[in-house]
Amino acid sequence: MALHPSESLPASNASPASPSSVPPPVTAASAGAGRANATAAPFPADFLWGTATAAYQIEGAASEDGRTPSVWDVFSKTPGKVFEGHTGDVACDHYHRYKEDVGLLAELGVKSYRFSVSWTRVLPDGTGKVNPKGLDFYDRLVDELLRAGIVPMCTLFHWDFPQALQDRGGFLQRDVADWFADYTTVVARRLGDRVPWWVTQNEPQAFIGNALLNGVFAPGLKLPYREYLTAAHNQMRAHGKQVDALRAAATAAKIGYVLATQVQRPATEDPADIEAAREAIFSVYDKNPWNNAWWICPVLEGRYPESGLRLFGDDMPDFPASDFDQIKRPIDYLGLNMYSAGTWRQGKDGRPERVVSPPGYPRGTLDWLQIVPSTLYWGSRYFWERYKLPIGITEHGLATRDQVFLDGKVHDPKRIDVMHRYLLGLARAVQEGVPVVGYWAWSLLDNFEWAEGYKDRFGLVYVDYATQRRIPKDSFSWYREVIATGGRSLLGPTAVAWDNVTG
């Protein structure tokens, strides 16, 4: 199926680089792959090697110093919603141990750290009166990072919506956009002089789709489509107002919006398959929230994707056309959280056709986490070609069920292998000219994995939740070497050629 005419590129953006305008892949020989002493680092010197976390997943101190409940506090305490009734009440106790955790970041040698702010720590009622103790915590955290030479990236909203605002109608209210803007102003006024990188919102597919349509994330609603689409629309209006608030309060801010990127990759590098995956990555094929176009077209193109409008039909809510001016505010980079990818080829009828993975295909311990090493390559490339915005890999990682071994260490060879393969894919994108500003590994610490509780572990550092002891895993040392060498260590003897490790 050809692209619907309205799904061609927005006029304001340059036309996409056609596949032929992208230089051919770097070969093992030209990149120095296969030689341990390769001279050229595959990533630029100013590349932001980092790790990412989120407030509710690590902070704990849930009712301390004036913090009030978010929807996740309420949801996690509702029987049956989170694995074995786990909550974020204590989590990794980062609120009290942030200095130790910044020490770990310094030991790891990261250039940047992505954290999020807990809205209800800062504004206990969701709006209005500021809680100085809450703001002070982030002030101390930012200063500690700067002392360690680490560039802060602040995510303003990572799912912990104030329960007080949920009780006032939440995302169904148009006022939610102003609530977001006011909260953003408060945080940006306090941290904007020291935080260069900002994220307005993290993964709308999750905090709107999984939360308000599928009912599996807080607050656990299953709204009819029309209301779900209203919530999504207001969420994007809120993003736009946050951008304006940031521009006003933090003039040097580099502002991004982060997608739960549903990467689609071609089954082969045949141009027809590359086009099939390109169409798939920017289309809405069904009514579930797991696509990119619904969440990014309004924000970057000022319109809803035709493929989605056709699907939702009469369920589309009414709104003034001028809303798109508020939603589509210029941003500085696109944040892509990327973990996995679907596979597509051109079918016999010329239309994109999904290719099912063979039985036994490798995964992490979360079922959705299929290991597709070329995810970062195709994801970065397709989004760059379409939107011409610098890309930040704001999350990537692997869920495992690590344990402390008899030798007292935490061996996680699978995480190392997966990060290695994915980073080679990212190196290929960089070598081909995609402007990737950084890579934030998810996550620094094992933490509260939302509805899965503490069962699955994403950390480079193991957390013994009973004692709060932190044990850097083998992947921690491995990633430290990657950072210290600008990625040269990725080109060791196992990386015989880009293609056969990134497939």
Query: According to CB under 6 A, which one of 54, 436, 491, 495 is a site residue for ligand NOJ?
Result: 54
Kindly state the DSSP code that residue 400 receives in the 8-state scheme: B
CA distance 296 to 236: 9
Number of residues that bind ligand NOJ (CB under 6 A): 9
Q: Which is nearer to ligand NOJ, 373 or 459 (CB)?
A: 459
Looking at 144, 203, 275, 417, which residue binds ligand NOJ (CB under 6 A)?
203
Nearest approach, Cβ of residue 54 and ligand NOJ (Å): 5
Distances (CA, A) of 32 to 49, 416, 427, 491, 501: 21, 21, 12, 7, 15
Q: Which is nearer to ligand NOJ, 417 or 446 (CB)?
A: 446
Bond into 219 cis (ω within 30): yes
- Give the nearest distance from C-beta 443 to ligand NOJ in angstroms: 7
Say what angle helices 474-484 and 94-108 make with each other, to 10 degrees.
50
CB of 57 to ligand NOJ, least distance (A): 6
Cα separation, 227 vs 233, in Å, equals 10
Q: Is 422 annotated as a binding residue?
A: no
Residue (205 or 283) nearer to ligand NOJ, CB: 205
Residue 395 in the binding site for ligand NOJ (CB under 6 A): yes
450 is in an annotated binding site: yes
At its nearest, how many Å lie between ligand NOJ and the CB of residue 446?
Answer: 11
Nearer to ligand NOJ, 335 or 425 (CB): 335
Both tokens of residue 390? 């610098």
State the Cα–Cα distance between residues 187 and 131, nearest whole angstrom: 11
136 three-state secondary structure: helix
Cα Rg of the chain, angstroms:
22
- Alpha-carbon distances of 265 from 362, 374, 476, rounded to whole Å: 16, 8, 29
Site for ligand NOJ in 8-47 (CB under 6 A): none
Judged by CB under 6 A, the residue of 138, 449, 501, 502 near ligand NOJ is 449
Measured CA to CA, the distance from residue 94 to residue 110 in angstroms comes to 18
By CB under 6 A, the residues from 55 to 84 that bind ligand NOJ are 57
The Cα–Cα gap between 305 and 301 comes to: 9
Q: Per-residue contact track with ligand NOJ, 341 to 380, x per CB under 6 A?
A: ----------------------------------------
Q: Candidates 157, 282, 442, 498: give the one binding ligand NOJ (CB under 6 A).
A: 442
119 among the known binding-site residues? no
Whichever of 328 and 415 has its CB closer to ligand NOJ, that residue is 415
Q: Looking at beta carbons only, is 93 or 395 nearer to ligand NOJ? A: 395
The reply to whether 340 sits near ligand NOJ by the rule CB under 6 A is no
Q: CA 450, 97, 78 angle in degrees (round to 5)?
A: 25
Render 321-366 in DSSP notation, one character per residue.
TTHHHHH----SEEEEE---EEEEEE-TTSSEEEEPPPTT--B-SS
Nearer to ligand NOJ by Cβ, of 25 and 335: the residue is 335
Q: Tell me the β-bridge partners of 256.
A: 199, 333
Q: Tokens for 200, please give them.
A: 């307005």
* Pick 430 or 445: Cβ nearer ligand NOJ: 445
Please check if 468 is assigned to a binding site: no
The least distance separating ligand NOJ from the CB of residue 415, rounded to whole angstroms, comes to 13
The reply to whether 158 sits in an annotated binding site is yes
Residue 466's CB is within 10 A of a number of other CB atoms, namely: 6
Q: Is 203 among the residues known to form the active site?
A: yes
346 close to 275: Cβ distance less than 8 angstroms: yes
Helix H segments across 250-341? 271-281, 293-301, 306-312, 323-327
Catalytic hit among 7, 59, 144, 203: 203
- Beta pairing partners, 254: 197
Least CB distance from residue 223 to ligand NOJ, whole Å? 22
Active site residue 452: no
CA distance 422 to 254: 26
Closest distance of CB 26 from ligand NOJ, Å: 29
Q: Is 339 annotated as ligand-binding?
A: yes
**Residue tagged active-site, from 144, 275, 301, 395:** 395
Smallest separation, CB 450 to ligand NOJ (Å): 6
The secondary structure of residue 205, as a DSSP letter, is I
* Distance from C-alpha of 403 to C-alpha of 414, rounded to nearest angstrom: 13
Binding mask 271-310 for ligand NOJ (x = CB under 6 A): ----------------------------------------
Cα distance between residue 261 and residue 238, in whole Å? 20
Question: Does 402 interact with ligand NOJ (rule: CB under 6 A)?
Answer: no
378 secondary structure, DSSP code: H
On whether 166 is known to bind a ligand per the annotation, the reply is: no
Residues that bind ligand NOJ (CB under 6 A): 54, 57, 202-203, 337, 395, 442, 449, 458
Q: Please state the residue numbers annotated as binding site.
A: 57, 158, 202, 339, 442, 449-450
Q: Tell me which residues are annotated as active site.
A: 203, 395
